[in-house]
Amino acid sequence: MLNCPNCYGKKWLRKVSPKTGLQLKDRDGKLLWRCWRCGEVAVEPTTPILPKTVRTDANILYLDTEVSKSLFYNYGAKVPSKYLRIDDIVREYYIICWSASYVGQDKVFSDCVTTQEARNWSDKNILKKLRDMMESADIIAGHNVDAYDIKRINTRLLLNGLEPVIGKKTLDTLKIARSKFTFESNKLDYISQRLGFRPKDDITNEDWLNIVKTGDKDTLQKVDTYCQGDVTNGKNVLQSLMKYSGKREDYGAIALKSGDDYYKGKRRDKYA
pLDDT, tens only, 243-259: 999 887 888 887 776 55
Q: What integer is the mean pLDDT of 4-23?
A: 90
Radius of gyration for the alpha carbons in the chain, expressed in angstroms and rounded: 24
DSSP conformation letters of 200-253 = PPP--HHHHHHHHHH--HHHHHHHHHHHHHHHHHHHHHHHHHGGGSS--TTTTE
Q: What integer is the mean pLDDT of 32-52?
A: 81
What are the residue boundaries of the structural domains of the chain, listed by start?
1-46, 54-244
Q: What integer is the mean pLDDT of 13-42?
A: 91
Per-residue confidence (pLDDT) for residue 28, from 0 to 100: 84
pLDDT, tens only, 111-127: 999 999 999 999 999 99
pLDDT at 46 over 90: no
Per-residue confidence (pLDDT) for residue 271, from 0 to 100: 35
Per-residue confidence (pLDDT) for residue 51, from 0 to 100: 73
Per-residue confidence (pLDDT) for residue 262, from 0 to 100: 52
Q: What integer is the mean pLDDT of 1-18?
A: 86
DSSP, collapsed to helix, strand or coil, labels residue 54 as helix
CA distances in angstroms from 66 to 2, 85, 166, listed in the order given:
44, 24, 20
pLDDT at 267 over 50: no
Q: What integer is the mean pLDDT of 232-245?
A: 95
pLDDT, tens only, 149-204: 999 999 999 999 999 999 999 999 999 999 999 999 999 999 999 999 999 889 99
Per-residue confidence (pLDDT) for residue 258, from 0 to 100: 57
CA distances in angstroms from 211 to 50, 126, 221, listed in the order given:
48, 16, 10
Instruction: Name the class of domain 54-244.
Output: alpha beta
Q: Which residues contact 100 (CB under 8 A, 6 or more apart)?
A: 61, 62, 63, 64, 108, 109, 110, 130, 133, 231
Strand order in the sheet with 41-43: 12-14, 32-35, 41-43
Work out the pLDDT band at 206, boundaries 50, 70, 90.
very high
Per-residue confidence (pLDDT) for residue 81, from 0 to 100: 85
Per-residue confidence (pLDDT) for residue 47, from 0 to 100: 67
Q: In whole angstroms, give the CA distance from residue 94 to residue 117.
A: 10
pLDDT, tens only, 62-115: 999 999 999 999 999 998 888 999 999 999 999 999 999 999 999 999 999 999
Per-residue confidence (pLDDT) for residue 268, from 0 to 100: 42
Q: What integer is the mean pLDDT of 47-66?
A: 83
Q: What integer is the mean pLDDT of 213-226?
A: 97
